[in-house]
Amino acid sequence: MAIDTTDVVVVAPSTGNSSSYLDWSPIIGGAVIAAAITTIMAAFGSAIGLSMVSADTSRSSGLTALAIAAGLWALWITISACAAGGYLAGRMRRPTPDATVHERHVRDGAHGLVVWAAGALLVAMLTSSALTGAAKTAATGVAAAATGAGALISQQVDPLGSALDSVMRSTAAQPVSTAEREEASRVLSRSLASGALDPADRSYIANRLAARSNISQQDAEKRIDDAYTKLNQAKETAKQAAERARRMGVITAFLTAAALLAGAAAAWFAAVLGGKHRDEEIDLSALFGSR
């Protein structure tokens, strides 16, 4: 009697995706949670920031205080959102009982980093779409606002024009001509660019001004010197404003990079913590008041 010796192969059911260690469902969920928290907290931050600013400068917070508050709020938002998304991804990831404890921590932390990256991209996309929508809405009012904007621009103080007005003021019967005014304008502009008022140009303009405005040579020279001093002050004020804006841009860039790095670290450690709670089956019902 023949005995069937055919081997029987038993195939164990697969417990997960063997092609990749990344579990995209919890990653996407964590990224959405992080983006939602960022959006909500940013809206609250905008409201708080507007409450600190007033048209009355005496009642408005200083620029330094606003910058510090904005930096701390951005840091808090980034860490909170990334930690929440990372914890969700780590807690919801499929368990891998065949891996060592260190390997599970690494995989959970990697999921947290992917949540951080995906959340940052999602927030950038939402911000871009919001700005695009705002631009489209604002475009409908451009034509109506053009007249008002032109009026505001025309009301702005022109330092060079004001200086020329003070220099060319005359009580004589024949006022200073447009050509003479333009000539004085070129001299002052050239002097500002070079950083010094040329004595020959100063004497020439003073002679023309004294003869035309019926004033003494000394008074004419004093007018020119005063106008040049005012223009130099306006130039220095503009340079200081530009320098402050440059420094603020550098500080903002560094704070943004630091907040993003802090968010990455928070997402990693929160995902590892979530994975640890998953493996240990930590009961969090007490946090929600249920038993």
Condensed to tens digits (0 to 9), the pLDDT of residues 132-185 reads 444 444 444 444 444 444 444 344 456 667 766 666 666 655 566 677 777 777
In a domain, 211, yes or no: yes
Q: Which of 133-142, 231-240, 258-267 has the lowest mean pLDDT?
A: 133-142
The pLDDT, as a whole number, for residue 58 is: 61
Average pLDDT over residues 85-110: 88
In a domain, 140, yes or no: no
Whether residues 88 and 231 fall in one domain: no
Any idea what the Cα angle at residue 252 is, between residues 246 and 258, rounded to 5°?
Answer: 140
In a domain, 136, yes or no: no
Note down the domain range covering 192: 159-238
Gap between the Cα atoms of 243 and 235, Å rounded? 12
pLDDT > 90 fraction of the chain, expressed in percent and rounded: 14
Please tell me the total count of domains within the chain.
2
Is the whole model's pTM more than 0.95, yes or no? Answer: no
Whether residues 89 and 56 fall in one domain: yes
In a domain, 52, yes or no: yes
